[in-house]
């Protein structure tokens, strides 16, 4: 699953730390906290996140067709409007002027859909990124990471997810690097995952969700504290 486009889930909030290496009984080895998943710059003031609506589906389809080498059936989009998919699907809208404060144009302009994430819940509390996409001119703003951050926090609260997983097309080196920089590990490979692509292989990546990841999102504090 390429970047301009796709991603996945964590384990229990504070549990999944690697066991510390053995040290002397009087000097236990210090625990090294996992790297935060959502270390990212502030979201641009022009960006607004919104749930998927029927009106946005045509733009959602267009983004996927522009950024991904695979096509999605109509059922993918109709299911995205139903639970549990709808609560873990999020759109990124780019406004001509800052959403909160700032100078606004006197001519009303509709925001543009520039990015989207759509996930599903798998067994073992796994949040799987079906697709995460962002139009090229809007990259390098942290928008895709913020999309993942918000959906993961929602999935922890609503579905108790513990990890995020995704498939990355083996030829998509840029997408794989994106996941690695956000703390994802390579956990496997499927040689014939993309039947219509060459090469056909997909790399499976996974990141366990920790407390530090959720604290990076203000809406997640109640989840951590409860």
Give kind and range of the element (H or E) at residue 89: strand 89-94
Q: How far apart are CA 175 and CA 193, in angstroms?
A: 16
Q: What share of the chain is helix, strand, coil (3-state, %, to 5)?
A: 30, 20, 50
Separation between Cα atoms, residue 62 and residue 68, nearest integer Å: 10
Q: Specify whether the CB–CB gap between 127 and 119 falls below 8 A.
A: yes
Within a domain: residue 40?
no
3-state SS assignment for residue 90: strand
More confident residue, 214 or 7: 214
- Asked if residue 15 belongs to a domain, the reply is no
* H-run or E-run covering 208: strand 202-208
Q: What is the CA radius of gyration of the chain?
A: 18
pLDDT digit string, tens, across residues 174-209: 999 999 999 999 999 999 999 999 999 999 999 999
Answer yes or no: pTM beyond 0.95: no
| CB neighbour burial string for 27-59, b if at least 16 within 10 angstroms, e if fewer | eeeeeeebebbbebeebbebbebeebeeebbeb
Pairing state between β 89-94 and 47-50:
antiparallel
pLDDT in tens, 51-76: 999 999 999 999 999 999 889 999 99
Q: Is residue 130 part of a domain?
A: yes
Q: With bands split at pLDDT 50, 70 and 90, how would you rate the model's confidence at 109?
A: confident
Give the three-state DSSP class for 120.
Answer: strand
Q: What is the pLDDT of residue 213?
A: 66
What is the tens place of the pLDDT at every residue in 115-172?
999 999 999 899 999 999 999 999 989 999 999 999 999 999 999 999 999 999 999 9
Give the per-residue pLDDT at 214: 62
In a domain, 170, yes or no: yes
Per-residue model confidence (pLDDT) at position 218? 47
Judge whether 2 lies within some domain.
no
CATH of the domain at 78: 3.40.630.30
Q: Reply yes or no on whether the pLDDT at 6 is more than 50.
A: no
Q: Place 14 in a pLDDT band, splitting at 50, 70 and 90.
A: very low
Q: Look up residue 73 and give its DSSP letter.
A: -
Q: Answer yes or no: is 33 within a domain.
A: no
Least confident of 23-27, 91-95, 140-144, 212-216: 23-27
| Count: domains in the chain | 1
Would you state the pLDDT for residue 20? 28
Identify the pLDDT of residue 29: 40
Residue 135 in domain: yes
Domain-embedded: residue 69: yes
pLDDT of 221 over the 60 cut: no
For residue 222, name the pLDDT band (cuts at 50, 70, 90). Answer: very low
**39 confidence band (pLDDT: 50, 70, 90):** low
- State the residue range of the domain holding 87: 47-98+109-216
pLDDT of residue 219: 46
CA–CA gap between residue 198 and residue 221 (Å, rounded): 44
């Amino acid at each position: 699953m390429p970047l301009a486009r796709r991603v996945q889930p964590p384990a229990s909030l504070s549990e999944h730390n690697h066991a510390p290496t053995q040290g002397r009984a009087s000097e236990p080895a210090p625990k090294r906290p996992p790297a935060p998943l959502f270390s990212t710059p502030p979201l641009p003031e022009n960006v607004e996140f919104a749930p998927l609506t029927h009106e946005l589906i045509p733009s959602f389809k267009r983004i996927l067709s522009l950024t991904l080498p695979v096509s999605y059936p109509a059922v993918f989009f109709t299911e995205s409007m139903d639970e549990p998919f709808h609560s873990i699907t999020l759109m990124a809208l780019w406004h001509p002027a800052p959403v909160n404060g700032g100078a606004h144009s006197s001519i009303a302009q509709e925001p543009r859909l520039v990015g989207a994430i759509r996930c599903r819940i798998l067994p073992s509390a796994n949040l799987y990124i079906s697709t995460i996409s962002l139009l090229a001119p809007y990259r390098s703003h942290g928008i895709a990471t913020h999309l993942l951050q918000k959906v993961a926090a929602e999935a922890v609260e609503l579905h108790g997810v513990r990890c995020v997983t995704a498939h990355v097309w083996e030829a998509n080196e840029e997408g794989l690097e994106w996941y690695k920089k956000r703390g994802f590990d390579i956990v496997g490979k499927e040689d014939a995952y993309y039947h219509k692509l060459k090469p056909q292989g997909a790399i499976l990546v996974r990141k366990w969700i920790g407390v530090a990841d959720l604290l990076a999102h203000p809406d997640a504090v109640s989840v951590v504290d409860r």
